[in-house]
A and B are shown apart, each in its own frame.
Chain A
Amino acid sequence: MIGTEKNNIKALDILLVEDNATDAELCMRALKKHGLANNILWVKDGAEALDFVFRTGEYAGIPNGLRPKVILLDLRLPKVSGIEVLRKLKADEHARLIPIAVLTSSKEDNDLEECYRLGVNSYIAKPVEFDQFMDTIANLGMYWMVINKLPS
């Protein structure tokens, strides 16, 4: 298992919402190469993501102050879709402060537009080619973890 253990979260930088294990692994490998993978929580569907952010379900006991610096959100997810997760988070007064970067294999203009309409902070198409994929993820991690400033 990669990333932070669910019940023992001390610190959190990235919430990765990704149902595909290989993609998740490649993603974390890219981040790890640049020393950005220390505090990643990986959830496999939209419902779990919402549970975490709103402290419901199995994440009910997690302290309120614990917030990721960015949520990497895939759009095609089991149970609750990425778009739905995005809508719910951006509709919430507190949760909307968390930056959300959509990370998807979709190249559809529909999805892109819809995500921006809902208030996404970034939209990245996963490159198919390995090198590009690794670079893109690394850049993404660097930007949100290091360069970007968040409200306290």
Chain B
Amino acid sequence: MGTVSASGVKAAARPPARPPCPPTSQWSAFVSFGAAFSAIIGLLGLTGWMLDVPVLKSGLPGMVQIKANTAICLILLGASLWLRRKANEQTRGQNFAGQLMAGMAAAIGLVSFGEYLFGWDLGIDQLLFADSPREAIRSVAQGLMAPVNALNFYFLGLALILLSWTTLHGVWPSQMLSFTAGLISLFNLLDFILVPHDLHTYTSLPAAVALAVLSLAVMCARPQFGYGALPRGSEQQNSIIRRWFFQGFAEQHTQPLRYGGAVVMVVVAAMVRRALERSLGEVSAFLLFYPATLLAAVLGGLGPGILATVLSAAIAGYFIFDPPGIGVGRLSDVASLTVFSATGIAIAALAENLGRTRRHAADKVRKASLYARSLIEASLDPLVTISPEGKITDVNQATEEATGVARAGLVGTDFAGYFTEPEKARAGYRQVFNQGQVHDYPLAVRHVSGKVMDVLYHARLYRDEGGAVEGVFAAARDVTERKQAEQELSVYRQHLEDLVAERTAEIQTANQRLETANQELETFAYSVSHDLRTPLRAVDGFSRILLEDYAPKLDTEGQRIVTVVREGTKKMAQMIDDILAFSRAGRLELSIRAIDMEELVRAALKDLEPALDGANIKVEIKPLPASHGDASMIQRLWTNLLDNAIKFTRPKPQGVIEVGAQNGENETIYHVKDNGVGFDMQYAHKLFGVFQRLHAQDEFPGTGIGLAIVKRIVARHSGRVWAEGKVNQGASIYFALPNGGKS
């Protein structure tokens, strides 16, 4: 990871669409040269015929001369190629003229070949210039061009007509035709090199050279098609040779080089063989073709290997074996030719297989690399690899976006420079080396615009296959938003806490005020009732003294009035006592401990014995669960409840009071039930009020403080109290005390 080449990155990040392919300048220059060269050779030949200068026709003195029709065809084909030498830049007229000229050349070639094959004489050979037998050295017929050239003209004419035409499958007939013509021309040339001139050469040197050049030029005229399609883009900077040797196997566009290379190698082998003819003799006809074929197969694959084999066999059979030219030779030659051909094809097949395996492996590596690269680039998190020296070696697009610096500007620079705290970044980097990895390392990346991105870094060492540390692979996670959200959340939380604290303080203040007010009220009630006693005693005492000391002076009515005064003071004294008791029930500190309810009820009943005296009341005490509370207060509670029950049951002929309890979910509910006078439920809410009474004073005595005190005591024990009753059918008072969930 992270060591993918620069070109690989580009390819993955921005896969380039294949641009429309302009022919590279050296190819188009060669095409132009070929067209011009062919036309000029043709023109020179014609000039030679017109002015009768033999050297212009033969190239070398005393050799075969170019035929007039050959010269015409060369001019036609050269002009045709010249007109159409550029892929897209000619007018329709140019195209038509080019194709017309090519068609004429093809027709001349075809007719000439027909003359040769069928022995016709159509008269076209002597049409322009009469060829004298003296000068028609080694001519097939007077004025008739060599059959090889006729075929070539036919092929090249067709190739030029079809120059811009490809089949649906991408096959380019023009290239095949020109390639065939090229091979034929090659034999023409080899004829001059390998064989004594006087043996079997029918063609002239200028025609042979011109046709070879023209064939190549036509092959190269449309490099965007077929095998001529050239590699483009950044790889153009690589040398052609290097591409062919190291990268070219899988690339279709290297085929002209591979096939061309095969041809060159075989030709070189043939030439070396020719140079060593004397020392080697005929025995080792294929000695040099073997290495040439092997090289072509290994470097070029199946096609070039077979081409080299076939070409070698053809050259050997045509030029080396006896007799030269086409014909059946000796048996030993046929055998060695067969062995060579079989071996060559086998080598080609093996080389192809080897190449395929290598291509497949290379393809897998390339795909794996591409896959890994795509993953890296797909990451939204900035990824970076760093060398052991702290220099950035690779980044993904997210890193470019995070820093605002392009890849080229990032690679090779100090990684720490892109953080707000470079020292901290370096410390984290050292930590990776010490511990092998870091997690959630907080840093902040600074964008070139100054914007800061909070990130958490994960990084770990990466090693080569041998385990040696190659650098650090680091991935950052953008936590800016998370951090912002956290900050916002914390602001809200703080605000909430402030609010709660504020409210709590307010409540506490209010509570305190309430408590103070309550205390003041209690103190007030206490002291008021206390202070009221003294004047009350004075009223009572002095009215008594009045009765004692001044009785003789008061008549009966006077005495009755004083008595009423004294009754009032008594009642008031009782009320004061009650208020004090009520106040005390709210004021005294509770002393909570475990209490035995039954014992408290019995103690209360003992206090009430005087009240029960003479009454026909049956008190039934059912089992009572123990509880927790202030014993003296709870006893007071029972006393008040029982006192009430006794008071209101007294009028009944047979009074029944039941004391009982039952366990609730979290509380124990105690009750005192009686069958006394009862009460109307619509006044139930008044029962527990201070000085609230449901009966007239002379009916039942009392100030109406008893149940108010009960309610207060229950409330102070965190319980609740309520009453149920019906007129003349008794009353039930319930109070519930929490029992801590025990049932």
Instruction: Choose from A23, A29, A109 the contact partner of B538 (Cβ within 8 Å).
Output: A23
A23 partner residues in chain B, CB cutoff 8 A: 534, 537-538
Chain B neighbourhood of A126, CB < 8 A? 533, 537
* A106 at interface, CB cutoff 8 A: yes
Shortest beta-carbon distance, B579 to chain A, in Å? 12
Report whether over half of chain B's contact residues are helix, strand or loop; otherwise say mixed. helix
Nearest-Cβ distance from residue B499 to partner chain A, whole angstroms: 42
Which of A22, A76, A106 interacts with B541 by CB under 8 Å? A22
B537 touches A133 (CB 8 A): yes
Chain A residue contacts of B537, Cβ below 8 A = 22-23, 26, 105, 126, 128, 130, 133
Q: How far is it, in angstroms, between the C-alpha of A139 and the C-alpha of B535 when the chains are bound?
A: 23
The digit string for A1-41, where 1 denotes a CB below 8 A from any CB of B, is 00000000000000000001011001001000000000000
Contact of B534 among A29, A105, A108, A109 (CB under 8 A): A105
A residues with CB within 8 A of B: 20, 22-23, 26, 29, 76, 105-109, 126, 128-131, 133
**Chain B contacts to A: CB under 8 angstroms:** 526, 530, 533-538, 540-542, 544-545, 566, 569-570, 573, 576, 580, 588
B268 CB, min distance to chain A CBs, angstroms: 132
Contact A130 B540 (CB under 8 A): yes
Nearest Cβ on chain B to A39's Cβ, whole angstroms: 23
Nearest Cβ on chain B to A54's Cβ, whole angstroms: 28
Looking at the assembled complex, report how far the CB atom of A71 sits from the nearest CB atom of chain B, in whole angstroms. Answer: 20
A107, chain B: closest CB distance, angstroms: 6
Residue on B nearest A125 in the bound complex, by CB: B533
Determine how close the nearest CB of chain B comes to the CB of A75; give it in whole angstroms.
10
Give me 8 A-to-B residue pairs in the complex whose CB atoms sit less than 8 angstroms apart, sorted by A's number. Answer: A20-B534, A22-B542, A23-B538, A26-B541, A128-B536, A128-B540, A130-B544, A133-B537
A130 to B573, CA, bound (A): 11
Q: B588: which A residues are within 8 A, CB to CB?
A: 109
Smallest Cβ distance from B693 to chain A, in angstroms?
A: 22
* CB atoms of A128 and B530 under 8 A apart: no
B111 CB, min distance to chain A CBs, angstroms: 149
Tell me which residues across on chain B come within 8 A of A20, comparing CB atoms.
534
Contact A129:B534 (CB < 8 A) given known A22-B542, A29-B545, A107-B580: no
How far is it, in angstroms, between the C-alpha of A26 and the C-alpha of B530 when the chains are bound?
18
Q: Which residues of B contact A106 (CB under 8 A)?
A: 530
Chain A CB count within 10 A is highest, among B537, B545, B569, B580, for B537
Output the least CB separation between A109 and chain B (Å): 8
B-side contacts of A108, CB under 8 Å: 526
A39 to B536 alpha-carbon distance, docked (Å): 28
A57 to B: closest C-beta gap in Å: 27
CB-nearest residue of chain A relative to B580?
A107
B580–A133 CB distance below 8 A: no
Write out the residue numbers on chain B whose beta carbons fall within 8 Å of the beta carbon of A133.
537, 541
Besides A22-B534, A22-B537, A105-B530, 12 new A-B residue pairs in contact (Cβ under 8 A), listed by A number = A76-B530, A105-B534, A109-B588, A126-B533, A126-B537, A128-B537, A128-B573, A128-B576, A129-B570, A130-B544, A130-B566, A133-B541
CA distance A29 to B576 in the complex (A): 25
A83 vs B570: C-alpha distance when bound (angstroms): 29
Minimum C-beta distance from B631 to chain A (A): 15
CA–CA, A107 and B583, complex, Å: 12
Task: Tell me, in angstroms, the Cα distance from A76 to B529 when the chains sit together.
Answer: 14
> Do B540 and A129 touch across chains, with their CB atoms under 8 A apart?
yes
Residues of B within 8 A of A129 (CB): 540, 570, 573
Does the CB pair A22–B530 fall under 8 Å?
no
Chain B residues with Cβ under 8 A from A107's Cβ? 580
Q: How far, in whole Å, are A61 and B530 apart by their CA atoms in the complex?
A: 37
Residues of A within 8 Å of B570, CB to CB, are 129
A62 to B88, CA, bound (A): 150
Whole-angstrom CA separation of A150 from B569 in the bound complex: 39
Q: In the docked arrangement, what's the CA distance between A117 and B570, Å?
A: 33
The chain B residue sitting closest to A105, CB to CB, is B533
In the complex, what residues of A have CB within 8 A of residue B544's CB? 130-131
- In the bound assembly, the distance between CA atoms of A95 and B502 in angstroms comes to 57
B709 to chain A, nearest CB (A): 15
Task: Determine the distance from Cα of A131 to Cα of B544 in the docked complex, in whole angstroms.
Answer: 9
How far does the alpha carbon of A22 sit from the alpha carbon of B543 in the complex, in Å? 12
Q: How far is the CA of A100 from the CA of B534 in the complex (A)?
A: 21
Kindly provide the distance from the CB of B396 to the nearest chain A CB, expressed in whole angstroms: 84
Contacts of A109 in B (CB 8 A): 588
Contacts of A105 in B (CB 8 A): 530, 533-534, 537
In the complex the two chains form, what is the Cα distance from A117 to B667 in whole Å?
40
Give A47 Cβ to nearest chain B Cβ, in Å. 20
Contacts of B535 in A (CB 8 A): 22
Task: Name the distance in Å between A12's Cβ and chain B's nearest Cβ.
Answer: 26
CB distance from B633 to the nearest CB of A (A): 13
Return chain A residues, CB-CB under 8 Å to B533.
105, 126, 128
Nearest Cβ on chain B to A135's Cβ, whole angstroms: 13
Residues of A with C-beta under 8 A to B530: 76, 105-106
